Every structure is written in structure tokens, then in C-alpha cells.
Structure 1
Amino acid sequence: MAALSGGEQCIKYMLFAFNFVFWLAGTGVLAVGIWLRFDERTKGLFTGEGSPSVFYTGVYILIVAGAVMMVVGFLGCCGAIRESSCMLGLFFIFLLIIFAAEVAAGIWGLSNQDKIVSDVQQFYTETFNNYKATKQDALKETLVLIQFGLQCCGPTGTVIDGAPETCPKKEGLEILVTTSCPAVIKEVFTSRLHIIGGVGIGIGVIMIFGMIFSMLLCCAIRRTRDIV
């Protein structure tokens, strides 16, 4: 059996490094999803009456996505370092499926942009109303994360009408009037769409290179094993 050439060895270790980073990223995504699911401050969102479906659906998507990324990264790492054409073939298939899902999600997201914005705004409004009615700590933590992250306060932008304890601290006249969260949510989605699209395209390009490298290495491994 002949050995891999210098260029093929380079592809092998590049593919291993790529998949190791991919595996670490999957571990991080899975850890965040599990933390959000079982943390004392947020697990009440999964069991309370009128729990926001958008939130826990997103958390379960994070958990599944992290697990899939870990499996794909593991297959890529082991396939590259062990020079296993079977593992590399499985890695290619998984990556192709993820790439197709990303393209489909991107097309769906662009065609349903207004509905996505509306759903996120509705999630925020329901969370806000549920917190005012129940004063649950989990709902408070969610509102604090959203409102401090977006620098907004309440559905109307008025602290008096909102929940002041969950709003960012303001000074002067800003104490009475600030930006409403539904308006900020819409502005963020519309103004950041090109950034989200750019990130998606970048991830897609990386996946394409990953598929190309895996096939090149797989073919090289099979070729060397055919040589006596």
C-alpha cells in the first residue's frame, strides 16, 4: 500500500483541524442548549402555564444542532487521522445534508422574514405579559437578557407602562421614555439581514471546502490501497 503524497497529507491534517474546531463548536452549542434547558433561572419557561413555544423550540434546536455537529466533527476527525474512507464518506453525507438544510432554511427565512419578526415580537410580548401577571423569576431573567441586549424597555417604550426592574438603567428624561422592544426587534432583523446572510454564505463556503477535501482525501486513500 502506497503512502499519501505531501499534498494529500496536508489535506488530511487540514481536514482534521477543521473538524476538531467543528467538534468543539458543536460541544459549545450543545452545552449552551443544555444549560438553558436545565438552568434554575430558565427551566421554569418549559413547565409554566403559557410557556413561550418559540423559546423552548429554539433551545431544543440548539441541543439537536450541537449533537449533530459533534457527531459530524467526530467522523471527520477520525476519518482523517485514521485514513478511513468509510468515515470520510459518512462525514461527506452528513455535511451535504447540513448544507442542504442551511440552504433550505435560508430560502425559507428570506421568504418568511415578516412572519419571523412577528413571531419574535409576539414571543417578547407574551413573555412580558406573563411576567407582569406571574412575576416568575425565569420570565424576569428572559426579559432582562432581551431588554439589556437590545437596550429597550417594554412593548411601548415607556418605563411606567413596563416593568422597570427588568429595564436598562437610564438617566434624565430617558427614565420616562425609551425605545420599545418590538420596534428594536424589527429594526435589528431588517438592518442585520445582510450580516446574517453573509455569515450563512461563509459557513456554506466552509462546508463546500470540507466536502471537497473529504472527497479528495477519500479518493487518495482508496487509490493508495489499490496500489500493491
Structure 2
Amino acid sequence: MLCGVLILAIAIWVRVSKDDQEIISSGDEVTNFYVAADMLISVGAIIMILGFLGCCGAIKESRCMLLLFFIGLLLILLLQLATGILGVVFRSESERVLNSTLYENVKLLRETSEEAKVFQQALIEFQEKFKCCGVVNGAIDWGNNFQQNYKSCECPTVSDSSCIYYEGHFVYKQPCISLIKDFVIKHIIIIVGIAFGLAVIEMLGLVFSMVLYCQIGNK
């Protein structure tokens, strides 16, 4: 049950974190990179219920509850295995879609629509945090909107070698695309780490529940 609570808490944190979600989910080609987190939320909730079922089965020595606990845990483990295999198989496709989304979102920096403003605000916060400018090509990505949004790109010192002079301002020359990819990978690693740790605990749960199930049967 505690494992389920921990998984649920971390998965919800990853899912609702406002750290630049709009950057990778805006644009014409909307891509949801939080499917894995959504699945972990479901898994965490189910494991909490299964944990309660297993506790009751152990305390009351109910073979029926223990069997349901075993079957439920086995199904979750198989689902995780299938998800992991699919993740490996479609990894290159995911990277292609992420690149396509980021290149497509460059257009939003030059626009004035409400959707564009949401994306621009997300990128402004990202630029301030990670000291980069633009998405793919640097400050030029902002187009005519640069003068209204240059402050998040501006260098604290003009002597900084990581900066360039652009339209009257010293701004960071590194575009944000590589940093955005690192951000996505960081979240994926967290999810994968949780999934692997969970798989070990689940296998132990399967073994212990079956041992207890057999012992109760022998009585």
C-alpha cells in the first residue's frame, strides 16, 4: 500500500508539474509525453487497492483475497513489461515527433494569438531558468516579438562568452532545443526508474502471496 502511495505521489508530481509542459505540448502537432505518467498514476492507485486486498487476505487468511491479489499484481507486471517493450520499440519515433513538435512550435514565437502567448510565456520562463534563447535558431526565432520579450534572453554581463549581440541587446546564443530534450529525458528516466523499482517489489509480492496462499491451504 505504501508503495502504491509513493508511486501515485511521484507520478502526479511528474504529470502536474508546470515545468515547461506547454513547450512540448503546444502547436499544430500536439504531442502528449505524459502518457507514461498517466499510466503510473493508474498503476499506483490499483496497487493501493491491491495492497489493501493483500493485507486483508493475509490477516484473515483468506485464500480468495490472496489469489485476487496475486492475479491483479501479475496482470500489472505483464502490463508494465509490455509498456517497456513498446517504449523501446518506438523510442526513435518518439524522438522524431518531439523534434517535429519543437520545430513546428517556432512559428508560435512570431505570432500573437492566445495559443502563441501561452507558448511564449512558457518559453520565457524556460529561458530565464536555463539561460538559453529561442527554440531552434536562437533569438531570431522570436521574429518581430523579440523586442517585447528579450529580457528573458538577456545576459547579466556583456562580457559573457555564451552571449551574442542581437538587435541592440546582449542575449544568450544557445537555443533551448537541446535543453528541452534534456528536460523530457529527465522525466522519462524518473518514470523508468520507478517502473523498474516497482517491478522488483511486485515480483516479491507475487512470491510472498503465493507462499502464504500455499501455507494456508496446507492448514
Secondary structure in 2 matching 1:179 = coil
Which letter does structure 2 place at the counterpart of 1:174? S
Gap runs ≥5 in structure 1: 1-18
Looking at structure 2, the residues matched to 92 and 144 of structure 1 have their Cα atoms a distance apart, in angstroms, of 49
Tell me the residue number matched to 1:53.
30
Question: Is the 2:7–2:40 Cα contact (8 Å) retained in structure 1?
Answer: no
Tell me the residue number matched to 2:94.
116
Question: Is the 2:50–2:73 Cα contact (8 Å) retained in structure 1?
Answer: no
Which letter does structure 1 place at the counterpart of 2:133? C
Looking at structure 2, the residues matched to 62 and 166 of structure 1 have their Cα atoms a distance apart, in angstroms, of 34
Alignment of 1:153-192 (within 5 A): 153-162=133-142, 170-171=155-156, 172-176=160-164, 177-184=172-179
Question: Is the 2:134–2:141 Cα contact (8 Å) retained in structure 1?
Answer: yes
What count of residue pairs does the alignment treat as equivalent?
197
Gap runs ≥5 in structure 2: 165-171
Question: Is the 2:136–2:176 Cα contact (8 Å) retained in structure 1?
Answer: yes
Cα deviation, 1:138-158, whole Å, max 9, x if unaligned, reads: 424543566567664333352
With normalisation by structure 1, the TM-score equals: 0.60
Looking at structure 2, the residues matched to 196 and 27 of structure 1 have their Cα atoms a distance apart, in angstroms, of 12
Looking at structure 1, the residues matched to 109 and 68 of structure 2 have their Cα atoms a distance apart, in angstroms, of 46
1:69 shift after superposition:
1.9
Aligned counterpart in structure 2 of residue 207 of structure 1, from 180, 202, 205: 202
The 3 A distance-change label for structure 1 pair 193 and 92 is: same
Cα deviation, 1:165-184, whole Å, max 9, x if unaligned, reads: 69566443423344333344
Looking at structure 1, the residues matched to 161 and 47 of structure 2 have their Cα atoms a distance apart, in angstroms, of 53
The 3 A distance-change label for structure 1 pair 193 and 70 is: closer
With normalisation by structure 2, the TM-score equals: 0.62
